Amino acid sequence: MLNNKGRPTQPTVDSNVDDSLETFTGNKGLELETPLIFEQGVPGRIGVDMADPKPVKSRLGGLERKESVGLPDLSEPQVLRHFVRLSRQNYAIDAGFYPLGSCTMKHNPRINEKVARLAGLGDLHPMQPTSTVQGALELIDDLAHWLKTITGMPAVTMSPAAGAHGELCGVMAIRAAHEANGEVRTRILVPESAHGTNPATAALCGYKVEAVPARADGRMDLDAFAEKLGPDVAGVMLTNPNTCGLFETDVKRIADLVHEIGGYFYCDGANLNAILGRVRPGDLGVDAMHINLHKTFSTPHGGGGPGAGPVVFSEGLAAFAPVPYVIQGENGFELVEQVEGDAAQSFGRMKGFHGQMGMFIRALAYMQSHGADGLRQIAEDAVLNANYIRVSLDDKLHSSFAGICMHEALFDDSTLKGTGVTTLDLAKAMIDEGFHPMTMYFPLVVHGAMLIEPTESESRQTLDQFIGAMRYLLDKATAGETDYFLSAPHFSPRRRLDETGAARNPVLRWIPDESADANEKTSVSAAS
Amino acid sequence: MSYKFTEDHEWVLLEGEVATIGISDYAQGQLGDVVYVEVPTIGDEITKGDELAVVESVKAASEVYSPVSGEIIDVNSELEGAPTKVNEDAMDSGWFAKIKVSNSSDLDDLMDEAAYKAFLQGLDE
Amino acid sequence: MLARVGVKSIDDLFADIPEEARLTDLLDLPLHESEMVVEKNFRTLAAKNLSPYSTPCFLGAGAYQHHVPSVADHIIQRSEFLTAYTPYQPEISQGTLQALFEFQTQVALITGMEVANASMYDGATSCAEAVLMACRVTRRKKAVISGNLHPHYRDVTRTTLQFTEFETIDLPTAAAGIENFDDHINSDIACVVVQNPDFFGRIQDLTALADKCHEAGVLLVVVVNEVVSLGAIKSPGEMGADIVAGEGQSIGVPLSYGGPYVGLLATRQKFVRQMPGRLCGQTVDQDGKRGFVLTLSTREQHIRREKATSNICTNAGLCSLAFTIHMSLLGEAGFTKLASLNHSQAVTLAEKLEAIDGVSLLNDTFFNEFTLRLPANAAEIVEKLATKGVLGGVPVSRLIPKEPDMANLLLVAATETCSTADMDDFVVALKEVLGC
């Protein structure tokens, strides 16, 4: 039906449009495809303008590269368009709700990006004389002060590059401390709900990992823990709040017990966001804890990094911290870069140079923007949001553990039992609703786990929309609309991908010519 | 000559002093699409309970523990190129390794087929 | 919201915290500040530093001053890349995944290797992971480390291995000459680790060393901490490397006082299951469209836990994207031209500096960085140069202290960012400081 006063307002064809209609280009309106960068090159193009090299007598010692590298040549607008198109195939926190449990996907303020790029901060060379970087060292020292104050711990080491790297740093300090004591300890206790990095870290430090079961209320079983303690136990690695989103109520008892046998308490600080300004880990008996600046202090996740994982230490472990660190000397700030003198007990070095400065700048900007008052409110709002989700869904989903949760709500998949819909299928349907799915199948101790962490960044309106969508989907699943879920997502840049094919026959890079064949082959096996 | 099973879902088939080891049909079903199998080295000595092989599906990796002690005399090298065999034919051509058994009493405490079936039924409940 | 949750006050939500540990007052920290004030705070801090981009700068030693194209910094600030998490939901993460696949391919191409992973934290940690990987592949327990490996890389590797069943054999620094590895290569050794160009800037042909290693079943790990050099010199793969561990900062990543950077790790296809870190692989979706996923994740800690190849989880995502964009802009023509420009800059500078009385060049070969022997203590000279606004290189003693032989050695780098005027300022300032 045509509007006779102007353009048509309704489709001229039957409204039963088949959405699998193909276009000539493969694009669909604003959904723009882009081939691999290697498939777009035209020899002779270049995307960077630079001076011609002056002819000189080569000092390469006859080792000049003779073979071509194999890189494609492209112009600047081509490259720009390629990556803009790619970016549009990504979900991101700036675009929508990203309740990925244990990942703390909070708003990343842009002031952080701005100050990280200031001339005199973002462009400093790590080997400049310290006399020319006093502002940078002051910044590191200031951030260290904030971290020590927030956690109530006397010392901090800044260089670890991420959470797992921080764990390694903490457990290495524990091992170094035992060795300095002349003690050989062989076991480290880790709750069975722990993140996989914990046992991987303990193993890298030469410790045998022993899992401690959880109680019915989701906390570590104190009796089982006490039973496993002995003079050969180096320490415990405990996440608090734990991976089930619960505060370990016996935390002080756990600390006392491990200290009684001469062990140390490593706290995985991944979930620090929930307790900022409400409790200091130092008051709970913690000896070492890493802090994920990319979770709690809003440095962007960047598609998987970079992060930063400073580690706070108790007095007993501080001497074993790795180099480098900043001290205040007679002529201003100085860097201790070698294992000698006052740093003679240091267990070594974790990383080139001095740490993730770019992340330090962003995290400090975030802290200053929030202050002591704002930091406390972060924890309060994050915990309130998580509990709001918990109570708004617990008639439809089964909460794994009763009672108040901290910053994330954990459900199991019992509601879906018998529907033929799995947690994974539900997650894929959430994609169609415009949300990033929650964390699935973690922690491992809960069947078909769904771990939802809203963070403090989200408004009640967003939470209500999410809750509404979840309830709608759960009703649909229990009403028997299984196929809808099995074929989800329907509206994403790609449908479900053949992960089995990818793992059986790994294609990890583009290869000229052959790549087309490889592509064909996988299509065939996927279709068969 | 009959299959014996462990509670970790490995099977053993003893012919003379040579035991063939694999994982049960139930186990392959639980793992899902197997994408890679790491088999042991021929000639290695292995003790009952040690890790014999690793089976990987897309989302999980499981250790296969040796139900017997002895010397590894053969491995199923075909699995490297065709891990699907474990899914398709777990109880036969999807075998992992052959071990020259040093003590055949290792098999005494394993389940026979009927007992394993009952064991699986217990798991489902 | 509190009513819906069924509590009277916010405090009720924190009732699980032991009462005696609960904070009642605010932390002893300043209160929140406006964006304007925060920006001013950082400008104040920045003003206390000397920006190498505003002054003649010849610093290297593992981090190099290069021009970062504006497109690279613009794209990595797009929300869709900046604020996405690890691509665990591939249907809505194809942007990150395809970029990673392109990154892996670029790294494999420039290093001359078959495959590369999706990045490590930095060059030093990548080197340590390469050694662990070599131990797993060979099932051997000792790694021989060249004395001319960047000292931070050597220290990080030793630190990482110290509590494992593996150990390093650290050879002494050999500033003046070529090292001889023959006595150390045997069937107990997992790998030999060498840097090329080495810490002092010297370029070596590693082909013969690779052959010797392979005869004994030893892997050759080649460390590259100036990736631009790969545009000018024979690739480690061509020389027979089994694993390449590199620092990718020079391509697309700002200096940022030492981090975050991007660790590169490349190897042969047959070792890929022993490789640490994330890997992106090509596959198809259910409609048959090409797509990408994280793959072989069973090597990783979240599945293998204590049996994982490494504990690495977060990597250098956004820095690897910056690398990919910059490398795409360069292409074959640009990458090789950039390398050749860097070399010509360094040769030009070396000739100018060598002409100064008492100053001699330690290296016979180099790419964009070389070592000078000064007639005085290099650390003191560098301080004096800094007061004249010249960042005149890195004294070797800062990284290798307590070696009297090294006290007068100065590492000097020249990249495309130095102008002729910068070089001349350096020469004048150095002459003044040396009193000649």
C358-387 pLDDT, tens per residue? 999 999 999 999 999 999 999 999 999 999
Query: Which residue of C lies nearest to A179 if distances are taken between CA atoms?
Result: C163
Q: Mind giving me the DSSP string for A181-230?
A: TT----EEEEETTS-THHHHHHHHTTPEEEEE-B-TTSSB-HHHHHHH--
pLDDT score of C391 more than 70:
yes
CA distance B125 to chain C (A): 26
pLDDT score of B61 more than 90:
no
Which amino acid appears at position A378 of this protein?
Answer: I
Average pLDDT, chain A: 92
Q: Higher pLDDT residue, C7 or B36?
A: C7
Question: Which of C271, C298, C309 should we substitute to test contact with B (largest number of B Cβ atoms within 10 Å)?
Answer: C298
For residues A395-420, give the mean pLDDT: 95
CA distance A192 to chain B (A): 17
How high is the pLDDT of residue B32?
85
8 Å CB contact of A504 and B56: no
Rounded CA separation C57/C369 (Å): 12
8 Å CB contact of A500 and B36: no
Which tokens go with A282? 């130092």
Chain C residues closer than 8 Å to B36 by CB? 273, 298
Chain C residues closer than 8 Å to A46 by CB? 329-331, 333-334, 337
pLDDT digits (tens, 9 = 90+) for B109-125: 889 999 999 998 887 65
A134-148, A196-210, C248-262: segment of lowest average pLDDT: A196-210
3-state secondary structure of C88: coil
Query: Which residue of C lies nearest to A362 if distances are taken between CA atoms?
Result: C42
pLDDT score of A2 more than 50:
no
For residues A391-409, give the mean pLDDT: 95
Average pLDDT, chain C: 95
Q: Which residue from A133, A149, A519 is facing C49, i.e. has the nearest CB? A: A133
Q: Higher pLDDT residue, A8 or A289?
A: A289
How high is the pLDDT of residue A526?
36
pLDDT score of A16 more than 90:
no
pLDDT digits (tens, 9 = 90+) for A452-467: 999 999 999 999 999 9
pLDDT score of C268 more than 70:
yes
Confidence band (pLDDT; 50, 70, 90) for A22?
confident
Q: Domain spans of chain A?
A: 113-367, 500-528
8 Å CB contact of A164 and C314: yes
Considering the entire predicted model, what is its pTM? Answer: 0.94
8 Å CB contact of B59 and C303: yes
How high is the pLDDT of residue B104?
82
A14-28, A310-324, B6-20: segment of lowest average pLDDT: A14-28
Per CATH, C52-68+332-434 and C70-326 having the same topology is answered: no
Within 10 angstroms of residue A516's Cβ, the number of other Cβ atoms is 11
For residues A213-229, give the mean pLDDT: 95
Question: Which of B58, B63, B64 should we substitute to test contact with C (largest number of C Cβ atoms within 10 Å)?
Answer: B58
Q: Which residue from C31, C42, C74 is facing A118, i.e. has the nearest CB? A: C42
For residues B25-48, give the mean pLDDT: 88
pLDDT score of A343 more than 90:
yes
Distances (CA, A) of B31 to A182, A439, B34, C150: 45, 21, 7, 45
How many percent of chain A have pLDDT more than 70?
Answer: 93
pLDDT score of A475 more than 70:
yes
How many percent of chain C have pLDDT more than 70?
Answer: 99
Question: Tokens 């406390």 map to which residue?
Answer: A376
CA distance B36 to chain A (A): 7
Pair C413, C229: CB distance under 8 Å = no
Note the maximum CA span of chain C: 82
3-state secondary structure of C405: helix
For residues C396-400, give the mean pLDDT: 97
How high is the pLDDT of residue A513?
72
Q: Higher pLDDT residue, A160 or C178?
A: A160
How high is the pLDDT of residue B124?
65
Nearest 5°: the CA angle C258, C259, C260 is 165
Distances (CA, A) of C247 to A81, B60, C150, C210: 27, 32, 11, 21
How high is the pLDDT of residue B81?
83
pLDDT score of C225 more than 70:
yes
8 Å CB contact of B38 and C297: no
pLDDT score of C326 more than 50:
yes
Rounded CA separation A333/A141 (Å): 9
Beta strands in A413-493 (DSSP E): 439-440, 450-452
Chain B residues closer than 8 Å to C297 by CB? 58-59
- Whether residue A199 is preceded by a cis peptide bond, meaning omega within 30 degrees of 0, is no
How high is the pLDDT of residue A514?
55
Confidence band (pLDDT; 50, 70, 90) for A9?
very low
Indicate the fold that domain C70-326 takes in CATH: Aspartate Aminotransferase; domain 2 (3.40.640)
| H or E segment to which residue C409 belongs | strand C409-413
| H or E segment to which residue A386 belongs | helix A357-393
Rounded CA separation A434/A94 (Å): 13
How high is the pLDDT of residue C223?
98
Confidence band (pLDDT; 50, 70, 90) for A11?
very low
* Whether the predicted interface score ipTM is above 0.85: yes
pLDDT score of A521 more than 60:
no
Q: Higher pLDDT residue, A201 or A463?
A: A463
pLDDT score of A315 more than 60:
yes
3-state secondary structure of A430: helix
Nearest 5°: the CA angle B60, B66, B68 is 165
* Chain A touching partners, 3 or more CB pairs below 8 A: B, C
pLDDT score of B68 more than 80:
yes
Rounded CA separation C174/A53 (Å): 32
Confidence band (pLDDT; 50, 70, 90) for A13?
very low
For residues A359-380, give the mean pLDDT: 98
| H or E segment to which residue C324 belongs | helix C317-354
CATH 3.40.50.300 fits A113-367, yes or no: no
| H or E segment to which residue C132 belongs | helix C123-138
How high is the pLDDT of residue C167?
95
How high is the pLDDT of residue C301?
66
User: Which domains are assigned to chain B?
Assistant: 3-124 (2.40.50.100)
Rounded CA separation A20/A421 (Å): 24
Pair C247, C227: CB distance under 8 Å = yes
Q: Mind giving me the DSSP string for C245-278?
A: EEE-TTTT---GGG-S--EEEEE-GGGGGG--S-
Output DSSP code: residue A339.
Answer: S
Chain A residues closer than 8 Å to C104 by CB? 508-509
How many percent of chain A have pLDDT more than 90?
Answer: 86
Closest CA to C293 of C81, C89, C106, C80: C89
Q: Which residue from A206, A338, A508 is facing C272, i.e. has the nearest CB? A: A508
Chain C segment 44-103 residues within 8 A of A by beta carbon are: 44-54, 57, 59-63, 65, 67, 69, 71, 73-96, 98-99, 101-102
Q: Domain spans of chain C?
A: 52-68+332-434, 70-326
CATH architecture type of domain C52-68+332-434:
Alpha-Beta Complex (3.90)
> For residue C72, how many C-alpha atoms fall within 13 Å in the half-sphere facing its CB?
25
CA distance A501 to chain B (A): 8
8 Å CB contact of C273 and B61: no
Pair C278, C294: CB distance under 8 Å = yes
Q: Higher pLDDT residue, C430 or B63?
A: C430
pLDDT digits (tens, 9 = 90+) for C328-364: 999 999 999 999 999 999 999 999 999 999 999 999 9
pLDDT score of A14 more than 90:
no
How many percent of chain C have pLDDT more than 90?
Answer: 92
